[in-house]
């Protein structure tokens, strides 16, 4: 009887994948969404992406089943969020996940980088996660690859309006490997509420149940990421787990490790904490220019899957699941006018948020790389950047930045500190050597704001243990 029950369940799940036509269903929904867009006067349009033909050929015929897989980003438990807040802002002596947090560096704007009106960072081509909830792994790898291009190869973006013009296929690392190293979410969540546990239990799992970049960026440090050819991605195997599929025995020779993760903290919390709007937005833009594309996430409104081009603003307050993507740049009003998305006379884009009922006005817009093949605007999409008006409203009233906005959650980009070792000036006494005398000078300026001794990556305007660690790396590389 038990075997019969399992067979029935498997048959029911499989049947749901193949019921009807994916393209027909998506076409009907696109018509309904476009009607709402027209009624609300929104600057985007819906349609059916060509990539759905590949999905139908792979046997995926149910749109809701596909949506449930595409939205594979999970939030941290509220207790974990509070613990992270205490670690970064309350100087707590002890914390859960302390080893993981210690690899993250909160970045705040230094106002030392020119910010063009529009900018697209260098990045690798669009990938396709297929029928797996692995968006978080794709965002992690996409950010990792862009960071290598910027930090290791010295490439940089430019002021353009077409993101695909900055697409360079110089790295192709393994999303399969990153996806395989998810965490066991049941154990992790239960451990937060277990009074017998002194710390959260983080245990690897290869089940395909969604993930979070909080963990995958840490794994990029401790495990590294191999080449795509060493662990090729399996998009349509329809397994509820991620396979371990190395193609050779030498894959470890090709691992690339990051050394630290730059994090832009949750925008809504920073507003409540009193950080000015300019500091927050410039932190994102500076990190994007200095270090590479950022891994970001949000909760997906149900009409989002029909997006084809334009500035996405939800027509509905109905949400599906979480999604992780890659922030590659921003556009200003002149750029979206040039694209024909708004009136030539427009000075802003009105955003009527169906989740709060608030109306606000955007003048800048994020450009985001997705992981759904050619879906959307050639694989990308554009959303309003939080305005100063809305950010300040959130600071005053405690809400306003809503889950469909990427500013609602943290953002991540890896660091490869070894690529900076020979370019940093640690010869403080200008004698042509990096030695003990320079180290002593650094010690004498500890816990000061002397910019001459602020050599950490990223620079943070303060001299502390991060600068000592950086100095020792430079000193060792100079020997």
* 217-258 pLDDT per residue, tens: 999 999 999 999 999 999 999 999 999 999 999 999 999 999
Task: Give the distance, in angstroms, between the CA of residue 49 and the centroid of all CA atoms in the same chain.
Answer: 23
What per-residue confidence (pLDDT) applies to 82? 84
Give the count of beta carbons closer than 10 Å to the beta carbon of residue 318.
Answer: 11
What per-residue confidence (pLDDT) applies to 236? 96
Lowest mean pLDDT among 12-21, 250-259, 286-295, 390-399: 12-21
What per-residue confidence (pLDDT) applies to 476? 77
The one-character DSSP state at 386 is P
The one-character DSSP state at 452 is G
**DSSP, residue by residue, 76-129:** PPHHHHHHHHHHHHS--S--TTHHHHTTEEE----S-S---SSEE--BPPP-B-
Could you tell me the residue ranges of all domains in the chain?
78-417, 421-478
Q: What kind and span of H or E run contains 308? A: strand 307-310
Q: Do domains 78-417 and 421-478 have the same CATH topology?
A: no
This prediction has a pTM of: 0.91
Mean pLDDT value of segment 317-323: 96
Which of 387, 377, 291, 468 has the alpha carbon at shortest distance from 46? Answer: 377
> Using CA atoms, how far apart are residues 446 and 427, in angstroms rounded to an integer?
16
Q: For residue range 443-468, what is the model confidence (pLDDT) as tens digits? A: 999 889 998 898 888 888 888 888 88
Backbone angles phi, psi at 329, to 5 degrees: 170, -165
What per-residue confidence (pLDDT) applies to 97? 66
What per-residue confidence (pLDDT) applies to 91? 58
Mean pLDDT value of segment 345-369: 98
How many Å from the N-terminal Cα to the C-terminal Cα in the chain? Answer: 71
Share of the chain above pLDDT 70, in %: 93
Mean pLDDT value of segment 51-65: 94
What per-residue confidence (pLDDT) applies to 32? 98
What per-residue confidence (pLDDT) applies to 423? 52
Q: For residue range 352-363, what is the model confidence (pLDDT) as tens digits? A: 999 999 999 999
Give the dihedral of Cα atoms 411, 258, 111, 150; nearest 10 deg.
-100
Mean residue pLDDT of the chain comes to 91
Lowest mean pLDDT among 48-52, 117-121, 384-388: 48-52
> Using CA atoms, how far apart are residues 197 and 212, in angstroms rounded to an integer?
22
> Using CA atoms, how far apart are residues 387 and 359, in angstroms rounded to an integer?
11
> CATH code for 421-478?
1.10.1330
Between 146 and 98, name the one with better pLDDT: 146
Backbone angles phi, psi at 183, to 5 degrees: -105, 160
Q: For residue range 185-222, what is the model confidence (pLDDT) as tens digits? A: 999 999 888 888 777 889 999 999 999 999 999 999 99
What per-residue confidence (pLDDT) applies to 400? 97
> CATH code for 78-417?
3.90.70.10
What per-residue confidence (pLDDT) applies to 79? 82
Q: Taking CA 162 as the corner, what is the angle to CA 156 and CA 167, rounded to the nearest 5 degrees? A: 50
9: pLDDT strictly greater than 80: no
Q: For residue range 145-187, what is the model confidence (pLDDT) as tens digits? A: 999 999 999 999 999 999 999 999 999 999 999 999 999 999 9
């Amino acid at each position: 009887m038990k075997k019969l029950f399992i067979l029935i369940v498997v048959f029911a799940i499989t049947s749901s994948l193949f019921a009807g036509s994916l393209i027909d269903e998506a076409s009907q929904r696109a018509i309904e969404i476009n009607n709402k867009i027209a009624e609300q006067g929104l600057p985007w349009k819906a349609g059916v992406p060509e990539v759905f033909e590949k999905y139908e050929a792979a046997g995926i015929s149910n749109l809701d089943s596909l949506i449930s897989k595409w939205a594979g980003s999970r939030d941290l438990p509220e207790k974990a969020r509070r613990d992270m807040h205490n670690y970064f802002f309350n100087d707590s002596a002890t914390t859960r996940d302390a080893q993981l947090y210690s690899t993250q560096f909160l970045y705040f704007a230094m106002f030392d980088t020119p910010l063009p009106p529009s900018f697209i960072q260098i990045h690798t081509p669009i990938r396709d996660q297929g029928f797996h909830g692995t968006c978080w792994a794709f965002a992690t790898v996409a950010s990792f690859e862009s960071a290598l291009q910027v930090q290791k190869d010295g490439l940089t973006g430019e002021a353009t309006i077409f993101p695909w013009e900055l697409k360079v296929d110089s790295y192709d690392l393994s999303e399969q490997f990153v996806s395989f190293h998810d965490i066991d979410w049941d154990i992790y969540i239960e451990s937060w509420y277990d009074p017998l546990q002194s710390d959260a239990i983080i245990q690897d799992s290869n089940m395909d149940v969604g993930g979070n970049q909080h963990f995958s960026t840490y794994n990029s440090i401790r495990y590294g990421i191999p080449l795509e050819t060493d662990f090729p991605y399996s998009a349509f195997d329809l397994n509820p787990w991620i396979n371990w599929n190395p193609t050779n025995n030498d894959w470890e020779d090709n691992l690339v490790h990051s050394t630290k993760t730059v994090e832009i903290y949750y925008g809504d919390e920073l507003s409540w904490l009193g950080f000015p709007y300019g500091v927050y937005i410039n932190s994102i833009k500076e990190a994007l220019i200095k270090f590479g594309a950022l891994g970001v996430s949000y909760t997906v409104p149900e009409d989002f899957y029909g997006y084809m081009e334009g500035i996405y603003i939800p027509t509905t307050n109905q949400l599906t699941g979480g999604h992780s993507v890659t922030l590659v740049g921003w556009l200003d009003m002149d750029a979206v006018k040039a694209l024909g998305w708004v009136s030539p006379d427009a000075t802003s884009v009105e955003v009527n948020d169906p989740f709060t009922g608030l109306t606000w006005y955007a003048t800048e817009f994020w450009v985001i790389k997705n992981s759904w093949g050619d879906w959307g605007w050639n694989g990308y999409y554009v959303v309003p950047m939080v305005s100063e008006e809305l950010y300040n409203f959130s600071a005053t009233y405690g809400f306003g930045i809503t889950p469909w906005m990427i500013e609602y959650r943290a953002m991540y980009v890896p660091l490869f500190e070894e690529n900076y070792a020979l370019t940093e000036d640690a010869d403080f006494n200008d004698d042509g050597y990096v030695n003990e005398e320079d180290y002593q000078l650094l010690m004498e300026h500890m816990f000061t704001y002397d910019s001459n001794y602020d050599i950490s990556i990223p620079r943070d305007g303060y001299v502390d243990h991060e600068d000592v660690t950086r100095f020792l790396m430079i000193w060792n590389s100079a020997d």
